[in-house]
Amino acid sequence: MLRIEPREAPSRWWTLGVPVISALLALLLAAIPLAAAGANIVEAYKQMFNGIFGSVFAFTEMLTRATPLIFTGLAATMAFRAKLWNIGAEGQLYLGAMAAVTVGTGLIDAPSFILIPIILLAGAAGGAAGMAGPAYLKVRFGADEVVTTLLLNFIILIFLQMMLEGPLQDPMGMGWPQSEPIVDNGILPQLVPRMRLHSGLIIALVAAAIAHVMLSKSVWGFKLRAVGENAAAAFHAGIGVRRTLMSAAIVSGALAGLAGVSEVAGLRGYLTTDLSPGFGYTGIVVAMLAGLSPIGVVISAVFIASIFVGADTMSRAIGVSSYLSDLVVALSLICVLIGGFIAKYRIIRTNKGDV
Amino acid sequence: MTNPCVLSLNNLTKRFGSVVANDAVSIDLHRGEVLSLLGENGAGKTTLMNMLFGHYVPDSGSIDVADEFGEMHPLTLGHPQAALDAGIGMVHQHFTLAESLTALDNILLGSESLLSWRHNRNAARRKINGIMERTGLAAPLDEPVGKLTVGERQRVEILKALYHDARILVLDEPTAVLPPQEADTLFENIGAMTTGGLSVIFISHKLREVLAFSNRIVVLRHGKKVGEIATEDADERVIARMMVGADTPATPRVSMEPGAKVLELKSVTVKGDNARTTLHSVNLSIHAHEIVGIAGVSGNGQSAMARVISGLASPDSGVMLIDGHKINRFTPPAMQKAGVGRIPEDRHHEGMIGAMSVAENLVIERLDDPEIQKLGFLRRKYIRSNAEELSRTYDIRGPGIDADARLLSGGNIQKLILARVFERSPRLILANQPTRGLDLGAANEVARRLLKARARGAGVLLISEDLDEILALCDRVIVIHDGQLFEAHSKDRQAIGLMMAGENIC
């Protein structure tokens, strides 16, 4: 018989080691379908490694992919820590992007050091508005935010299509559903010459650092954690539960909105309906892998971006399906969840006695 | 007791690392007997029962159980099924029922094979009805368990054990969750069951119950059996001394002249859905240097009253004054500001945040204090030194101030809450079931702190289901019944008991 009981204090090595071991285990498990697809496993992983670290181009591409994931991972983290299940980062990302192209395509004429902060603020405000609505419905009427935020994603996407074929459409775009380009002064500067990596990454890292400090060192973070861990006790102790939930929602939505700004103003330059290949949803995976730690989000976003970019390269080089990258991401999430469980609980084999 | 022995635990020893949880404990249980197992938290009661049920394998010792013909056989150790087969049933403190299944389904759960047909149920139902008739344990069999009262659920648990032909029943703190009335019914049922030959091991903290309803008392302390006494030879002092190893001085209660009014409720009405949440035009005043006890069967409006005074709910009409100032906003921070210290009824659910540290839990009610924060950032150093100091003063024991509060024992969680409440020197203290589920030592500590606050000049409102506690601590006793308050004119146990039942109310 097996019995499960909580470990008194999960050791530091476990908490750090589990994600790493899980990631390695996931790669190991992914070898099985790779082999089944008839690929040379060593060659496949070599290609994958090259796809991440093989050149400056590969490495900067990986970081470019990690940038929006850091934002959406942080968005999920800040909401989930308050037990506010924001599944709507995808929609909030697009709201942020729409706000960015609204102010950034010629509406305001200003030098970079003024225009870029305005675009960032507008995007954050757009995303925040997208989460403030469901959060208000939750604290006021008890509406389940999982449902409202998830469904809002689809509404926002259709709204985006409408805008891109209407007011936001580029008149020079030959009828394509795309926005006007962000003006030059509004573009986030590149970090490496001739590479796509942009300063959205710096903003994401700063956001992660601020999120970490706010969560662990500020009164606001204290309240947010208290509400998330035990709302009844927090309320009894005099913490404004509704206000805390609303503020967590706004911060979470703003971070998701920044993901949209960073993609539009840093990478693409204009807005289309395929700006995000599900960054909002992947952000949830990033956050869970990171154990809802803002610093961990940076690491897990880089890890997941590596898998995506690496698997892309691999599939192109040796001709296996690129869906394998999704598989590795899923496997690593499962491994980390199991690993996290093992780190928190002890499984004890109870002796059956003499029989 | 000359009845034959049905269970004997022989020299059971269990070590966990360096801790000896049970040290050569031997206990005999006779047919038709109620044996009380007493001991503070951590005395080894649970470990002993876990060995009986095969959850732990003892390091040494053996267990013998009688079969249905009265012959003793050694029990296979470390094998729960063996314990069940030998006719040992257990009712846990926290019930293990599936809420969406009916009572009948729950009773049959585990005894039906997957392939059996439903017609076996009629036979099962007949058997259960027979048991209910014999023992007086009544429970609606076709209601989902989620809709049953706590008392009914407990009866379903007991029926389940009896259905599985238990000859020995272990009840783990069965009355911790029951109002006094239902507890009395339970004891009547136990009486009926033991005349039918069932033997009962009864684990409890409440000395009065143990004295009233058991035949024999075994006391454990630090894993050792320190005493065994026939109930007729025992009294509370003798047992308490066995449990803690020394006389526990009942905290002396000096009489005090009541001071100014600290709390006044004037025709406070709360319209609730049921009796639990309803108050009918309640008037109450509490003075400084005064402990006022609210006695009553649970579910008569205590929780509505506590919620209003804690600031968790607003009254529908009426006025509440604290220190002569009218309360306009009924929110937890408003009450804190007015000087109300609140010890919540459900300390695990409302009193602390298990996943946050002890140090953080100690400051959670005063986050806006300039000592705690500077410009919105926590002053870690102060928070830690504050926690160290309070842990010392209030004797909070556990893995340390940085450890999660969930790792503390029940008694230490209550000490944490006491520390948080009393360090702010509140004018009024609302103590809602402050000793429920605590062992004797921790309960005495709560009583001592309440009396100390009274001496300092606070008013205390003590809501408790434990009438003995109220009689021991309070200056005045008020009975709550059906959302109304009735002042008891004397501390006569009998008269108050009748008032709690809704009779003799003048």
Is pLDDT larger for residue B236 or for residue A201?
A201
Are B429 and B263 contacting, i.e. CB atoms less than 8 angstroms apart?
A: no
B367: nearest CB among A217, A219, A354: A219
**Distances from the Cα of B388 to the Cα of A223, B164, B352, angstroms:** 22, 51, 18
Reading the block at residue A320, the tokens are 């296996």
B353: nearest CB among A218, A233, A354: A233
Reading the block at residue B189, the tokens are 């049922």
Chain A: closest CA distance from residue B310 (Å): 8
**B373–chain A Cβ distance below 8 A for any pair:** yes
Least confident of A134-148, A150-164, B148-162: B148-162
B378: nearest CB among A222, A351, A354: A222
Least confident of A207-221, A236-250, A261-275, A310-324: A310-324
C-beta neighbour count of B499 within 10 angstroms: 24
Chain B residues within 8 A of A354 when measuring between CB atoms: 76-77
**Portion of chain B with pLDDT greater than 70, in percent:** 93
- Which amino acid type is present at position B340? V
- Structure confidence at residue A353 (pLDDT): 43
**A7–chain B Cβ distance below 8 A for any pair:** no
Domain range holding A257? 40-319
Chain B: closest CA distance from residue A347 (Å): 14
Q: Bridge-partner residues for A145, per DSSP? A: none
Q: What is the CATH number of the domain that holds A208?
A: 1.10.3470
pLDDT band at B108 (very low <50, low <70, confident <90, very high): confident
User: Cα-atom radius of gyration of chain A, to the nearest Å?
Assistant: 22
Are A161 and A177 contacting, i.e. CB atoms less than 8 angstroms apart?
A: yes
Which residue, B226, B232, B244, B245, is CA-closest to B27?
A: B226
**B332–chain A Cβ distance below 8 A for any pair:** yes
Chain A residues within 8 A of B378 when measuring between CB atoms: 217-219, 222
**How far is the C-alpha of B506 from the C-alpha of B99, rounded, in Å?**
41
Chain B residues within 8 A of A217 when measuring between CB atoms: 377-378, 380
Reading the block at residue B363, the tokens are 């400051």
C-beta neighbour count of B6 within 10 angstroms: 25
Is pLDDT larger for residue B341 or for residue B57?
B341
Give the tens place of pLDDT for each residue, A251-260.
Answer: 999 999 999 9
Pairing mode, strands B34-38 and B19-30: unpaired
CA A93, A97, A100, A105: dihedral to nearest 10 degrees? 180
Is pLDDT larger for residue A64 or for residue A290?
A64
Least confident of A60-69, A159-168, B66-75, B353-362: B66-75
Chain B residues within 8 A of A222 when measuring between CB atoms: 360, 367, 378
Pairing mode, strands B484-487 and B476-481: antiparallel
- In terms of phi and psi (left: phi > 0; alpha: psi -120 to 50; beta: otherwise), the region of B375 is left
Least confident of A141-155, B207-221, B237-251: B237-251
Residue that is written with structure tokens 């995808």 in the block: A90
Task: Kindly state whether residue A178 falls inside one of the protein's structural domains.
Answer: yes
Given a cut of 90, whether residue B329 has pLDDT beyond it is yes
pLDDT band at B72 (very low <50, low <70, confident <90, very high): confident
Residue ranges in B172-292 assigned as alpha helix (H): 180-195, 207-213, 236-244
B353: nearest CB among A8, A220, A229: A229
Which residue, B29, B304, B292, is CA-closest to B167?
A: B29
- Structure confidence at residue A6 (pLDDT): 63
Give the tens place of pLDDT for each residue, B179-194.
Answer: 667 788 888 888 888 8
Q: Count of domains in chain A? A: 1
**How far is the C-alpha of B78 from the C-alpha of B470, rounded, in Å?**
43
Reading the block at residue A33, the tokens are 């379908």
Reading the block at residue B16, the tokens are 């966990």
Task: Kindly state whether residue A332 falls inside one of the protein's structural domains.
Answer: no
Please give the average per-residue pLDDT across B401-424, as a whole number: 90
- Structure confidence at residue A223 (pLDDT): 97
pLDDT band at B222 (very low <50, low <70, confident <90, very high): confident
Q: Bridge-partner residues for B220, per DSSP? A: B225
- Chain A residue nearest residue B350, CA to CA: A233
Given a cut of 90, whether residue B16 has pLDDT beyond it is no
Number of CB pairs, chain A paired with chain B, less than 8 A apart? 91
Given a cut of 70, whether residue B2 has pLDDT beyond it is no
Is pLDDT larger for residue B437 or for residue B448?
B448
**B114–chain A Cβ distance below 8 A for any pair:** no
**How far is the C-alpha of A354 from the C-alpha of A351, rounded, in Å?**
9
**How far is the C-alpha of A346 from the C-alpha of A339, rounded, in Å?**
11
**How far is the C-alpha of A54 from the C-alpha of B285, rounded, in Å?**
79
A223–B367 C-beta distance less than 8 A: yes
Q: How far is CA B61 from the centre of its chain?
A: 32
Task: Kindly state whether residue A12 falls inside one of the protein's structural domains.
Answer: no
Task: Kindly state whether residue A207 falls inside one of the protein's structural domains.
Answer: yes
**How far is the C-alpha of A141 from the C-alpha of A147, rounded, in Å?**
14
**B399–chain A Cβ distance below 8 A for any pair:** yes
- Chain A residue nearest residue B417, CA to CA: A237
Is pLDDT larger for residue B310 or for residue B20?
B310
By three-state DSSP, how is residue B227 classified?
strand
Question: The complex's ipTM?
Answer: 0.86
Q: Which of A316-325, B85-94, B242-251, B382-391 has the highest mean pLDDT?
A: B382-391
A230–B349 C-beta distance less than 8 A: yes
Given a cut of 90, whether residue B359 has pLDDT beyond it is yes
A350–B365 C-beta distance less than 8 A: no
Task: Kindly state whether residue A334 falls inside one of the protein's structural domains.
Answer: no
Task: Kindly state whether residue A20 falls inside one of the protein's structural domains.
Answer: no
Given a cut of 80, whether residue B40 has pLDDT beyond it is no
CA terminus-to-terminus distance, chain A: 13
B77–A217 C-beta distance less than 8 A: no
B373–A236 C-beta distance less than 8 A: no
Chain A residues within 8 A of B336 when measuring between CB atoms: 238
Chain A residues within 8 A of B51 when measuring between CB atoms: none
**How far is the C-alpha of A67 from the C-alpha of A266, rounded, in Å?**
10
Domains of chain B: 5-244 (3.40.50.300), 259-339+426-506 (3.40.50.300), 349-422 (no CATH)
Which residue, A286, A305, A308, is CA-closest to A296?
A: A286
- Structure confidence at residue B233 (pLDDT): 86
pLDDT band at A249 (very low <50, low <70, confident <90, very high): very high
- Structure confidence at residue B1 (pLDDT): 47
Given a cut of 90, whether residue A307 has pLDDT beyond it is no
Chain B: closest CA distance from residue A80 (Å): 15
**Distances from the Cα of B48 to the Cα of B28, B32, B82, B294, B330, angstroms:** 13, 21, 16, 37, 47
B79–A226 C-beta distance less than 8 A: no
Are A311 and A53 contacting, i.e. CB atoms less than 8 angstroms apart?
A: no
- Structure confidence at residue B42 (pLDDT): 65
Task: Kindly state whether residue A353 falls inside one of the protein's structural domains.
Answer: no
Sign of CA dihedral B337, B343, B345, B348: positive
Which residue, B94, B96, B156, is CA-closest to B131?
A: B156
**B375–chain A Cβ distance below 8 A for any pair:** no
Picking from B350, B353, B361, B367 by the largest number of A CB atoms within 10 A of its own CB, the best residue to mutate is: B353
Chain A: closest CA distance from residue B421 (Å): 10
Chain A: closest CA distance from residue B475 (Å): 28
Task: Kindly state whether residue A233 falls inside one of the protein's structural domains.
Answer: yes
> How many helices (H) and strands (E) are present in chain A, helices listed first?
13, 2
Q: How far is CA A308 from the centre of its chain?
A: 14
**A167–chain B Cβ distance below 8 A for any pair:** no
